Amino acid sequence: MEQYDVVVIGGGSAGENIVERCVNGGLSVAVVERELVGGECSYWACMPSKTLIRPGEVLAAARRVPGAREAVDEPIDVPSALARRDDIVGNWDDEGQVRWVEGAGGTLHRGRGRLAGARCVEIESIDGRETTTIEARLAVVLATGSVADVPSVPGLDKAAAWNSRAAVSARAIPGRLGVLGGGAVGTEMAQAFSRLGSQVTVIERGPRLLANLEPFAGDEIARAFADEDIEVLTDAEVVSVDRAAPDAPVTVEVEGGRTIEADELLVAVGRLPSTADVGLDTIGLEPGKAVEVDDRMRATGVDGDWLYAVGDVNGRVMLTHMGKYQARIAADVILGRDITAWANGRAVPSVVFTDPQVGSVGLTEARAKEAGIDVRTVEYELGNVAAAGTHGVDFNGKTKLVVDEERRVVVGATFVGPEVAELVHSATIAVAAEVPLDTLWHAVPSFPTLAEVWLRLLETYGL
């Protein structure tokens, strides 16, 4: 039986980080991958989706600038946009990623990896005809990611609905697109496809878009969608879906009698940890559930501290960059370093790449109050910053800080507006480092940049 110091099940972004860090620490590492090395983010999520978003984003930015907008009078060239998407994902060929893993010193095993007891991994070949077993001397790391959640709606299972993978790999733009779900994936794809030529309807069962963020964020996106003729239905419970044939229209019936007809239906209601078939039952854990971990990314309920779970599979924070962060923590722990992943609960940054963008980190006002924090909030209109005028007309947005008054530190921040994604890391540093407001006052933003909103927020606070 082949032995390695570390065996990683899942060759996505989190798994790759384990490989690189552990190999650099002097360990031998095997990675088992059943699909494409590089995983969901590289081929079916972050990279292709942002590539599809970019053409519309650039045109919208140009149309806000007098002098530039007069030069923009053509719609997006869809074939070119799709070709660029194909290039970004390597035409769904992972040869480059395989070279990276092997160049980093990892050993790749193609196939489906399953636990087969403590420190033991069984690998079923892609064709299902052969099974081999390898062993980990120190650790097995689960990095199998997540799969799209599909709600129990009558008729949905027979409607050939799109999931996020199908949407970002689409070969053509549907004339009409229904989007079930108003979270990050739903809103990003709704606007991207609208700008690529689809008539889009978003169906959200809750009271607003982007329900996990500050309420004003969803309101701002809803207003932007209205301006672009993207229809948004909130408090809309889907009662049935019908499609007579794969090439026939999809009919979605919403509680109250409203029906929506579309050429394609994207289901984007969330994701579930991919643990149904990774052998959890062989070590006493429940298949299909998130693998609970401690702050060192070690699976709880498993004797011996040999099993780790990083990324979506542990259900803590389903974001690519946080999965990579957890992987770095897990690798350091495996290498014997004393470290914990405390950012998971305190300083999680995220960006929704709509236009306007929504960037956030830390706690919302509501969650801070639930945590018993003495909260004060500060808000400022992004359009009042000098840089907004240089960026064009109708350059608007809103920002908000959530302050722990007792400690006088920022515990949460939200930015809504064009190009605000690049403001998030400064907020992440402030939250993660618990920088006192009186110290932040001396972090002088360059003029004229959007970062000047930090100065205006602190002035509004009273500094």
CATH number at residue 264: 3.50.50.60
Same domain? 126 vs 200:
no
List the alpha helices (DSSP H) in 104-180: 164-168
Contact 153, 251 (CB under 8 A): no
Q: Is the peptide bond before 448 cis (omega within 30 degrees of 0)?
A: yes
Which of 270, 298, 318 represents a domain boundary (last residue)?
270
396, part of any domain: yes
pLDDT score recorded for residue 406: 97
Same domain? 266 vs 284:
no
pTM of the shown model: 0.96
Helix axes 13-24, 320-334, angle to 10 degrees: 30
State the DSSP H helix or E strand holding residue 226, giving kind and residue range, or none if neither: helix 215-227
Task: Strand 199-203: give its sheet, edge to edge.
Answer: 231-233, 199-203, 176-180, 264-267
Same domain? 385 vs 260:
no
Is residue 315 classed as helix, strand or coil in its secondary structure? coil
**pLDDT tens for the 463 residues of the chain, in order:** 899 999 999 999 999 999 999 999 999 999 999 999 999 999 999 999 999 999 999 999 999 999 999 999 889 999 999 999 999 999 999 999 999 999 999 999 999 999 999 999 999 999 989 999 999 999 999 999 999 999 999 999 999 999 999 999 999 999 999 999 999 999 999 999 999 999 999 999 999 999 999 999 999 999 999 999 999 999 999 999 999 998 899 999 999 989 999 999 999 999 999 999 999 999 999 999 999 999 999 999 999 999 999 999 999 999 999 999 999 999 999 999 999 999 998 999 999 999 999 999 999 999 999 999 999 999 999 999 999 999 999 999 999 999 999 999 999 999 999 999 999 999 999 999 999 999 999 999 999 999 999 999 999 999 9
What single-letter DSSP state applies at residue 263?
S
398, part of any domain: yes
80, part of any domain: no
pLDDT score recorded for residue 74: 87
79, part of any domain: no
Same domain? 449 vs 399:
yes
Same domain? 7 vs 137:
yes
Same domain? 300 vs 166:
no
**Widest pairwise Cα distance in the chain:** 69
Same domain? 426 vs 381:
yes
Token output for 348: 């999680």
Same domain? 213 vs 299:
no
Tokens 């002097």 belong to: 26
Return d(Cα 109, Cα 242) in angstroms, integer.
Answer: 41
43, part of any domain: no
Same domain? 277 vs 260:
no
Same domain? 335 vs 366:
no
What is the domain range of residue 301? Answer: 2-38+94-147+272-344
Contact 411, 362 (CB under 8 A): yes
CATH number for 368: 3.30.390.30
Q: Considering Cα of 384, then 389, then 395, then 400, what sign does the dihedral take? A: negative
Which of 288, 310, 344 represents a domain boundary (last residue)?
344
pLDDT score recorded for residue 416: 98
278, part of any domain: yes
Burial 131-142 (b: 16+ CB within 10 A, else e): eeebbbebbbbb
Domain count, the chain: 3
99, part of any domain: yes
75, part of any domain: no
Same domain? 389 vs 441:
yes
Which of 344, 367, 402 represents a domain boundary (last residue)?
344
Q: Considering Cα of 148, then 153, then 156, then 158, what sign does the dihedral take? A: positive
Q: Give the residue among 325, 370, 345, 373 at the shortest CA–CA distance from 431.
A: 345
Same domain? 31 vs 177:
no
